[in-house]
Amino acid sequence: MQKGPIVTSEHIELSRTLARDASDFIRHQATRNSRGLIASRFFWSRQEKWSPVIADFDDIGDHLLFVAWFGTEFGDDESLAFVKNQMELWVRDFRLPCGLYVSTCDLEKQARISRTNWQVVSLYDHHDALLGMVSLYRLTHDEFYLNLAVEVADALLVYIGKFNGLVPNRVIPALRLAVIKTSSFSTVCGLLAEELVELYTITGKHQYLGAAERIIDSWTKTPLFRQAGLFAAG
């Protein structure tokens, strides 16, 4: 007697259809704004909209990664081209001289984005984006994504070093050490460490492994971990 669920051709086709519908919505509906970027906070009825239509940099690790998966899984070149175009828009319009990014944009109000290092930047908005860039490289083997991941990681290494692994959230890059009254959160730091190790496995560059080890080492020396073996949220 056969045990377990039986996956039929109908199940596979249904999964393909649902994935295609989701990918098409992201590509053709969620990008209907002045910049053509995916709006992570998207409202079908603009009359009922109660908050801004926002593009978030960290969604590279969510929406874009899904569209890229669909493109590679089902051989859809248009989806892969869409993902690359979205990344090129982020680089063109939001990358700062330091290698970090302006991570949030109101797509209806912000006609001009200030691209200087003299502004507040959220480092924590970069961890999902870094994950997305590394994963996009894993999926597509396109060096374009790997180069972007290396640029972001190298920018983050500055703060991992300056704050001894206890990475803060908000900084002003031009001042290097400026922190905007924020705590360091163990969850985000742990994710950054994981992504840096992944980048190390791809590139073989030991500075990424060393930075990940520095993060973990610092958190294991915090009072709560020493007393109870737990990490404080922040």
- Tell me the CATH number at 48: 1.50.10.10
pLDDT of residue 50: 45
In a domain, 170, yes or no: yes
Gyration radius from the chain CA atoms: 20
In a domain, 19, yes or no: yes
In a domain, 208, yes or no: yes
In a domain, 3, yes or no: no
Q: Which of the residue ranges 19-23, 65-69, 118-122 would you say has the lowest mean pLDDT?
A: 118-122
Instruction: Note the helical H segments in 74-185.
Output: 77-94, 127-140, 143-162
In a domain, 232, yes or no: no
Q: Are 220 and 229 in contact (CB under 8 A)?
A: no
pTM of the shown model? 0.85
In a domain, 229, yes or no: no
- Structural domain count of the chain: 1
Alpha-carbon distance 177 to 179, whole Å?
6
pLDDT of residue 176: 62
Alpha-carbon distance 185 to 232, whole Å?
8
In a domain, 234, yes or no: no
Q: 66 pLDDT band (50/70/90 cuts)?
A: very high
Interval 210-234: pLDDT, tens: 999 999 888 777 655 566 554 556 5
**Host domain of residue 169:** 9-224
Q: 72 in helix, strand or coil?
A: helix
In a domain, 1, yes or no: no
